[in-house]
Each structure stands twice: as structure tokens, then as C-alpha cells.
Amino acid sequence: MGRRPLVAALMLSAGLALAPPAWAAQEGAKAPLQFRITEGNIENAFFQDGSIAAHLLLSSGEKPRMLVAFPAGNSGAGLWFEPTDKPVQWSLGKVTGQHRSVDGHGWNGIAADASVTADRLVLKDAVLGSIRMLRDYQQGQGYTAQLAATPKVAATPRLTERSASWQRQRLDGAPGYAIALSTDNGRFTQEDGHLVLRPDHAGEALHLHIEASTGETPLTPFTNLLNDRAQPDKRSREALQFLSYREKFLAGSWRFDTYFGRDTMMSLRLLMPVLQPAAIDAGIASVLARLSPDGQVAHEEGIGEFAVLQHLKEQGKPSAEPIYDYVMVDSNVMLPPVAAAWLLEDPRGRDGARAFLAGKLGAGRRGDALVRNLLFVAASSEAFARQPVYSNLVALKPNAKVGQWRDSNEGIGRGRYPYDVNAVWMPAALRAIGQFLDAGLLDDYTTPAQRERLRVAAASANDWEQHASALFAVHVPNDRAVAQVREYAKQIGVSDTSALKAVDGGQVDFPAIALDAQGKPIPVLNSDEGFQLLFGKPDAAALDRDIGNLMRPFPAGLMTDVGMVVANPAYADHDVWSRFGNNAYHGTVVWAWQQAIMAAGLKRQLARGDLSTATRQHLEAAQAGLWRAICAANAVRTSELWSWSYANGHYRIEPFGAEGAHEDESNAAQLWSTVFLALPPPAGLACH
């Protein structure tokens, strides 16, 4: 029996009926979006066509895995296999879309043909449901407890000699999730309680047909996303298209196939010149729609079965009402300057600003929601404006270990008061409030008393910036800086020659990544100064100092052959070093969007007319060096982040998480890694 007929029969027996796509007539002959990205041992295949959007991953090596992620409901299905004696290798063939009907409900998914070289594959686990549950399983966190608490999240396999399938409804009885495998040259057997797949003939590659689908409500992709100013980077365009929907932008796939506030706002700000107005309006509206009653920006949303599980746990009833996470403190102060960039500074947004704010949002208007956020920001600023001491800065929330974009436990060095939130984002937010007031756009949504409170807060922006920045200042004497860099380079196994040359002659001054609970600066050099370049107006002396520090060769600064690392602990105490390694999610690794922030910030500063020739030359040299590093990592440009190895005097790109030696895994398609579509290289430079 051929692979396709066998699976059709299998799915029919499981209650699934093949049906023509309901959207086919509307879409006409338009070709589906399909593209692939290979990173390390992971083959990624993306498919989007009308109501179908799916991301298939096949992991080769000694820990085989097959996973399909769906933006619909942030859902997915994955098969994890036991470690193998020798590496296995997947080869992926054709991928097609499928629309099925299960008990009268539409399920959307994909079918794919693949082969794998393995003497045998022993199934470890099949996990179906929310991507957040699949993430927990991948990281070895939480899934076992969830399974014990809610046994129904496990799907029982249906087996034949040539096939295996898993299917279940969502926990509240709504349409759920399915994944199926079939083969025409292998056998599924039960051995010692494990499901084992072997080829019919030893040494022969197994032929597999894969089908996976979800019953969650599909999203609506944009049909006209970019204008003619966007760069002609096919891979970035494809990744952005896959992650962009009228309902929301997705942070990244496979691990974050839903709304994240910070990712949405930063991507909108950087992509703004090349996005169509409808896309920007939709993105900002998605942020406003998820504000808390007091105006805080939602970081992440819990939807689909994750919401069902949480409601069951907390209230004992299976509701699918979305749950929003408000733990992040940086997102609250990002919204005002990002909204101002569109509604006040961009002529396209300015023309439609009043209509946008008057647009209906729930029981109110978008303008009402924006004002809730502005008032929250103003209230958050008042204590430090009255008394500028560290304890009045914006801190992480009580008992929270994270609160800004470096949202891993070690991201800001166990600090409590993040640099970017206080020295950059708060002043930028206060200035944006002043802009909105001056433009008269808040009059229809505020009382006179509210406008007065906002005006007082806006007037404190310069003092906030001056006093907050001073609290984060780090000064490292030259002799100590040289000794620290030399010893750190030795410990991590990289050359110190160019780094030591770069610090010869003077002390090293830079802003700490954060303050600890006692207000002491944590002296980790970091890339967050890029936010200041993009949203602030540093004086020439600060520009020269900060750019010089960041652009020094690592491990004196942040620059390597494969990009700008986001943190460098060389100047910190030795016990901090291991916590910021190149295996740490926010350690000495390269994040694409942080390079984009720096590139956009340098471009913005170079557009100023008040800088000396010497400062401009300094900025131009930094811009050229940054872009050389950006171009050197062109092969992983849409990835969330990457790591590195060092040998023979050179750094080499290592996909983050693909080899299993890192604390997490990178997304192959990340929203804010596509922002170079709006950032062409400076004149005379080109990435190939």
C-alpha cells in the first residue's frame, strides 16, 4: 500500500475526513508560502496558505525529534525519540497543506514526506497541545507535573503495522490536535512497553509520511504587508510573512507562535518605514487590546489549551478565555515612544492618528486605552522625579526574576533595577507623553486634571535621564581593566591581543546592565546602549565614550567576527563570568535584533546636524564595523540568536540550541530578526 492511501485510510478510521479547503476558491491559484531554513541539526519547513499555517521541524543527530507548530491557538504536536547509538539524518521531501473535517469541525494542517537513516527509532513521548506545553517538555520543565495533574493531555496511539497516529480533543472538548506517521518500508512494533520503528531491511532509509493538524481557530495572514522600500531579502520577507497576521504579529517560530508585546512593538518601530499602514495600525491595536485595566502592556498571552489548563487549575472550570502576563516592566515604557513614532512622527500615521485613536476597542476606544498606559507611566515616574534615589527607580516586580528583554534568570546579572528601563525607556516615554499633549491628540480622552498630571510627568524627562544614568555609571581603572580582560580571555579560550590593545591608555566607563537590590551597579558591559542611540540624543562626549566601549573587540568590548554579543562580563567579579557564557540565552551570544537596534541607532545619530566632524567619523567607523559583523552572519540573519566557537584565531557561528549544549533553543524565524528589511547597509557596503 502506498504511503498516501494508507494515511488517508488511517485518518478516516480516526474520525477524520478529507475535504477540499474552504478557502481554496477565495485564494485562487496563488501559490502557498513555502520556505526552509537549516540550522545545525534542525531542518525547518514553513508553510502558509489561507487558513493553514504550520512550521515543521526535523531534528537529526543523536536526539531525533519531529515537531509541527501551528500559529492557530499557539498549538502543536511533537514526537521525541530516545537517544540513538549513532547520529540519524533526516531528509525532507514535499510539504503540502491539508484541510480536514473532524466531527463537522475544520482542522488545518500539513502533510510531508521524509526519510531518515536509522537502525531503529524508539518513541520517547508524543506531546500534543499548546506550544507552551511542548516548550516545557523540550526544556524538561513542567510537563511531567502537568501530565500527572491532567492525564487527558496525553494522547493514546492508534497502531497498525505500517502506521501510528495520535489524536485528541482540546481539554474543554473543542477541536484538538493530531499527528500521524506511516511508512511503506518499515514496521511499528511494541517492545518492552515502547513503540519502536524499524526499516524492513537493515541499512535502508525509512520512508515516512507525516500528517499533523490542529482544530484551533486559524489566523488571517496579511495579503499586502510591505511597501516598495523594503529590502529584497527573500528569506527575511518570507519569515516576516509567516509571522504576520491581521489579529497579531507572532514573536517567533516554533517556540513563540503568538503575541508578545515587546517583540511586537520593537519590530513595528524598526520595520515602520517599510510596513503598510494597515499592518502598523493592526500591530499597535493588538498591544492596546491587551492592556491591563491600569494600563500595563501584556508581555505574553496564554491562549488555546494553555488558557484552558490555567483556568482549570485556578478556577476549576475549562475556560478558553485568554490569560495575559504583565510581569515585564520594560514593555510599559516602550509603548509611548513607539506609538508616538507612528502617530506623531511618521506622516502616514500622523494623517490617520485621530481616526485610529477614535477606533472602537472593546467597550471603549483605542485612545482611551493609550491614555491608561500614559497615566500608568506617569504614575511610575513620580517617585524618582521627586527624589532621585535608586530605590525610587522602576524595579522588577516583587518576587520576579525577570522584567525586561533579557528575560532569563541570569539576564541582568541578578539585578533588580534594569538600566534600559530607567535610563532610556522612561525618559523616552515621558518625552512621548509631552509630544502627544502638544499635538492635542489626548484631549478627547482625558480630563484637565489628567492632562496636568501628564504634563508634570513629561517635564521631568531630562532630570530622569540625568539622575538615572548617573546611578548606573561604572568606572574601571585601566590597570584593572587590562587584568580583567586578560584573565577572562584566558578562561574562555579566546585571544586577548586586539582586546588589550583597545583598552590600553585609559579607564573604561560604561553603564551597568542593572543595579542590584542595594543599588550597586552590576558591571556587565551590554548592548542596551543601542536603545539610547535609537530613542535618545546623547551629547558628543557620551557618544564617543559609549560607542568606543561597545565597538572594542571582545572580550574588551562586544564585537566579534560573527556579530555583536549582547553581554560581556569581563569587568565583573569572576563568579559572574560563568553565568554569562556563550551557552546562556542572554550571555556572550549574538541577538539579531540587538544588532538592528544598534544599526538603526547609529543611522539616527548620524542624521543629526549638531555633531563635530570627529564624532561623525567615530560613528561612521562604528557603523562600518557593525555592518561587517552583520554581513558575516548573513546565513543566520532571521534566527533569534546564535552562539560561537573559537579556533585558529577566529570566531565561528554556532546555532544556538541546535546541538543540545545550550540552555535553550533559538527560533529559526524570529519577528524582530526580520527588521533588516528596513535597514539597508550604508553606502559602499553590501551583504552577500
Rounded to an integer, what distance in angstroms lies between the CA atom of residue 684 and that of residue 618?
A: 17
Peptide bond into 555 cis (omega under 30): yes
- Cα Rg of the chain (Å, integer): 26
Confidence of residue 146 (pLDDT cuts 50, 70, 90): confident
| Residues 454-465 pLDDT 10s | 999 999 999 999
Pair 674, 240: CB distance under 8 Å? yes
Confidence of residue 32 (pLDDT cuts 50, 70, 90): very high
Pair 655, 42: CB distance under 8 Å? yes
Peptide bond into 577 cis (omega under 30): no
Rounded to an integer, what distance in angstroms lies between the CA atom of residue 62 and that of residue 114?
A: 18
Mean pLDDT: which of 19-28, 583-592, 634-643 is highest? 583-592
The arithmetic mean of pLDDT across residues 119-132, rounded, is: 96
Give the residue among 551, 673, 537 at the shortest CA–CA distance from 605.
537
Among the residues of 192-329, which ranges form H helices? 234-243, 261-271, 277-289, 304-315
Rounded to an integer, what distance in angstroms lies between the CA atom of residue 270 and that of residue 173?
A: 41
| Residues 282-317 pLDDT 10s | 999 999 999 999 999 999 999 999 999 999 999 999
Handedness of CA 492, 666, 59, 308 (dihedral sign): positive
Cell numbers found for residue 72: 492557530
| Residues 310-337 pLDDT 10s | 999 999 999 999 999 999 999 999 999 9
| Residues 196-245 pLDDT 10s | 999 999 999 999 999 999 999 999 999 999 999 999 999 999 999 999 99
Pair 108, 214: CB distance under 8 Å? yes
| Residues 342-386 pLDDT 10s | 999 999 999 999 999 999 999 999 999 999 999 999 999 999 999
Asked whether residue 158 carries a pLDDT value surpassing 90, the answer given is yes
Phi, psi of 438 (to 5 degrees): -60, -35
Asked whether residue 3 carries a pLDDT value surpassing 80, the answer given is no
Pair 57, 139: CB distance under 8 Å? no
Asked whether residue 648 carries a pLDDT value surpassing 70, the answer given is yes
The arithmetic mean of pLDDT across residues 12-22, rounded, is: 38
Q: How far is CA 390 from CA 309, 380, 517, in A?
A: 40, 14, 9
Phi, psi of 189 (to 5 degrees): -135, 155
Which helix (H) or strand (E) segment holds residue 70: the answer is strand 65-70
150 vs 287, residue with greater confidence: 287
| Burial status of residue 477 (CB atoms within 10 A of its CB: 0-12, 13-18, 19 or more) | exposed
The arithmetic mean of pLDDT across residues 465-471, rounded, is: 98
Give the residue among 258, 300, 261, 307 at the shortest CA–CA distance from 71.
258
The arithmetic mean of pLDDT across residues 108-127, rounded, is: 96
Q: What is the pLDDT of residue 223?
A: 93
Phi, psi of 204 (to 5 degrees): -90, 140
Cell numbers found for residue 242: 509567516
Give the residue among 657, 661, 671 at the shortest CA–CA distance from 42.
657
In the chain, % of residues over pLDDT 90: 89
Rounded to an integer, what distance in angstroms lies between the CA atom of residue 181 and that of residue 437?
A: 60
Q: What is the pLDDT of residue 22?
A: 40
First-to-last CA distance in the chain? 47
Pair 527, 518: CB distance under 8 Å? no
